[in-house]
């Protein structure tokens, strides 16, 4: 059942998930306050002893060998099921977590798997049939958001023993995704992809030095890491390496970008939103405004009007590893990338590399913000789950044991001692983790909202934001009215 290939892939990037540790928010008190400007709370700096001794406050229960079924994508099943110890620090921590929970409560973990589309259909069919076989969903966040709008999931506030004040629960998901005492989707350290799909910028240290680019970490800490600064440092770096007098993937550039969601990430890194909470705690559609139009205009200029900047939408076919391959071949000083996608490859890179957050819109913007791609997993409980007390106890225990066992193994052992090339990169990773934002308008987009207009326009070098909005405004507003009504009901 376990996918060995994906296990090795995920072992590389799941190191980052330790940054979730120490983040806490209370869903029990149903936080409906107006959103703050920052992302997640600071990463905890407690000792390993403090982490492992933190109590989960769960009762002693014996569930008589109950088979606790978790729905998850096939590619992520190994993180959920963890059937055996292999000697790998990541595998063994996952295995020990599961054994600890199984033995403590006398349960056995099983899974229901598929890709995000087929799995969503299986979950829907199961709930509509009144089948109580699925206890917990750990599934693709955007797809799960669509299922949530169909009323398939329980309000987490109604699940006993779930304590979002504990550090194994991420606060921005509960703060941002909780409205009017309703929270049907949440993220804990058990959802190990929660940071793996976080976007960042990597830079080649040797090439940066060759081109006189210095003090990048100081630029970030000074608040001066903006899209204009990235453009300034990149736009004049171009070498026609293959000598064909044509700009293509055979040449060297200052900045190479993938398209699609990597472009969406700028909306949030520039401080934009799709849906936002107003002063009364309700939701408002805030996507359509002059600044969003200016963002599209600016990014089209950046990616299509600078010799030293190349985007893979100019290639004949899309390749999700385009920027990674260019980076490994020393054909790019900077790339934008997904952390989880890149650690597998960059750890073998000959040249040292550094890690930076996505740039800000301008220096007047006070915070750095980081988007987590919508393919990461989120937790939900089907309304057909017959024993919410059992579900709450097991979910809380899995989350706590992930925090105590898995996260330290990933972060301290795998990342900090194996992959990070300098102390500053570790600090940047903490900054990136702390700056994550989860937009309820993106999570509940369901591929019917406004979240993907950004990448669509920029990939096509199309600055017609207003006309595009006008042509879709009616359907987009109808979709988000449904989201708003869902949380008001």
> Is there a domain that residue 258 lies in?
yes
CB atoms within 10 A of CB 210: 12
Tokens of 289: 């405004």
Q: What is the mean pLDDT of residues 100-110?
A: 98
Q: Do 344 and 362 fall within a single domain?
A: yes
Q: Do 206 and 231 fall within a single domain?
A: yes
pLDDT over threshold 50, residue 2: no
For residue 124, CA distances in Å to 121, 134, 149, 150, 151 come to: 5, 11, 12, 9, 10
Residue keyed to tokens 């570790």: 426
Residue length, the chain?
A: 489
Residue 353 CA to residue 334 CA, distance in Å, equals 10
Q: Do 184 and 277 fall within a single domain?
A: no
Q: Residue 408: give its domain's CATH number.
A: 3.40.190.10
> Is there a domain that residue 434 lies in?
no
Q: Do 225 and 178 fall within a single domain?
A: no
Residue 341 CA to residue 347 CA, distance in Å, equals 12
Tokens of 204: 């080649």
Confidence label for 34 from pLDDT (cuts 50, 70 and 90) = very low
Query: CB neighbours of 273 closer than 8 A, spacing ≥ 6?
Result: 286, 287, 439, 441
Q: What is the three-class DSSP state of 204?
A: strand
Q: Do 313 and 380 fall within a single domain?
A: no
- Summarised one tens digit per residue, pLDDT across range 353-362 is 888 999 999 9
- Summarised one tens digit per residue, pLDDT across range 211-225 is 999 999 999 999 999
Tokens of 320: 């999700």
> Is there a domain that residue 220 lies in?
yes
- DSSP H/E element including 219: helix 216-221
Residue 385 CA to residue 15 CA, distance in Å, equals 32
Q: Do 170 and 290 fall within a single domain?
A: no
Output the CA torsion sign for 237, 239, 245, 251.
Answer: negative
- Summarised one tens digit per residue, pLDDT across range 144-169 is 999 999 999 999 999 999 999 999 99
Q: Do 188 and 273 fall within a single domain?
A: no
335, 324 contact by CB (below 8 A): yes
> Is there a domain that residue 170 lies in?
yes
Q: Do 111 and 177 fall within a single domain?
A: yes
> Is there a domain that residue 191 lies in?
yes
What's the pLDDT at 418?
55
Listed residue (152, 25, 59) closest to 389, CA to CA:
59
Confidence label for 5 from pLDDT (cuts 50, 70 and 90) = very low
Q: Do 210 and 174 fall within a single domain?
A: no
Q: What is the mean pLDDT of residues 301-312?
A: 97
Q: Do 364 and 467 fall within a single domain?
A: yes
pLDDT over threshold 50, residue 277: yes
- DSSP H/E element including 275: strand 275-277
What's the pLDDT at 419?
56
> Is there a domain that residue 439 lies in?
no
Structural domain of residue 56, as residue ranges? 4-196+373-419
Half-sphere exposure of 276 (CA within 13 A, CB side): 14
> Is there a domain that residue 319 lies in?
yes
The distance from CA 173 to its chain's CA centroid, rounded to whole angstroms, is 11
Please give the tally of structural domains in the chain: 2
> Is there a domain that residue 415 lies in?
yes
Q: Do 218 and 285 fall within a single domain?
A: yes
Confidence label for 48 from pLDDT (cuts 50, 70 and 90) = low
Looking at the chain, the whole-number percentage of residues with pLDDT higher than 90 is: 66
User: Please, which residues bridge with residue 276 across strands?
Assistant: 284
Q: Do 40 and 124 fall within a single domain?
A: yes
């Amino acid at each position: 059942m376990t996918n060995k290939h994906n296990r090795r892939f995920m072992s590389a990037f799941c190191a980052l998930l330790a940054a979730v540790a120490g983040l806490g928010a209370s869903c029990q008190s149903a936080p409906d306050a107006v959103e703050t400007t920052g992302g997640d709370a600071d990463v905890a700096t407690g000792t390993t002893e403090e982490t492992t001794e933190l109590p989960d406050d769960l009762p002693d229960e014996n569930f008589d060998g109950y088979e606790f079924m978790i729905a998850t994508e096939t590619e992520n099943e190994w993180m959920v099921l963890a059937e055996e110890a292999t000697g790998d620090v990541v595998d063994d921590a996952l295995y020990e977590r599961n054994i600890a929970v199984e033995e403590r409560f006398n349960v056995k973990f099983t899974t229901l798997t598929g890709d995000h589309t087929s799995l969503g259909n299986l979950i829907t069919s199961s709930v509509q049939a009144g089948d109580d076989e699925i206890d917990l969903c750990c599934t693709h966040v955007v797809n799960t958001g669509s299922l949530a709008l169909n009323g398939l999931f329980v309000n987490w506030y109604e699940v006993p023993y779930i304590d979002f004040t504990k550090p194994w629960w991420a606060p921005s998901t509960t703060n941002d995704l909780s409205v009017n005492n309703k929270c049907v989707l949440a993220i804990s350290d058990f959802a190990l992809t929660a940071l793996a799909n976080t976007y960042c910028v990597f830079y080649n240290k040797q090439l940066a030095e060759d081109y006189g680019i210095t003090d990048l970490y100081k630029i970030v800490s000074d608040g001066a890491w903006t899209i204009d600064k990235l453009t300034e440092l990149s736009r004049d770096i171009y070498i026609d390496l293959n000598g064909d007098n044509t700009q293509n993937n055979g040449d060297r550039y200052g900045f190479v970008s993938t398209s699609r969601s990597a472009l969406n990430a700028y909306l949030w890194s520039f401080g934009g939103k799709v849906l936002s909470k107003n002063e009364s705690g309700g939701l408002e559609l805030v996507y359509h405004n002059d600044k969003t139009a200016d963002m599209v205009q600016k990014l089209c200029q950046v990616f299509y009007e600078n010799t030293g900047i190349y985007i893979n939408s100019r290639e004949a076919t899309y390749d999700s590893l385009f920027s990674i391959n260019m980076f490994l071949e020393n054909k790019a000083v900077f790339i934008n990338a997904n952390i989880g996608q890149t650690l597998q490859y960059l750890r073998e890179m000959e040249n040292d590399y550094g890690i930076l957050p996505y740039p800000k819109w301008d220096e007047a913007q006070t915070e750095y913000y980081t988007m987590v791609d919508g393919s990461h997993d989120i937790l939900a409980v089907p309304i057909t789950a017959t024993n919410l007390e059992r579900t709450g106890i097991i979910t809380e225990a899995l989350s706590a044991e992930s925090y105590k066992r898995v996260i330290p193994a990933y972060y301290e052992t795998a990342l900090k001692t194996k992959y990070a090339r300098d102390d500053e990169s570790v600090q940047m990773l903490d900054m990136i983790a702390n700056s994550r934002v989860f937009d309820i308008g993106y999570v509940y987009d369901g591929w019917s909202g406004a979240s993907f207009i950004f990448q669509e326009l920029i990939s096509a070098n199309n600055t017609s934001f207003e006309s595009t909005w006008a042509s879709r405004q009616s359907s987009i507003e109808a979709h988000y009215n449904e989201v708003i009504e869902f949380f008001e009901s």
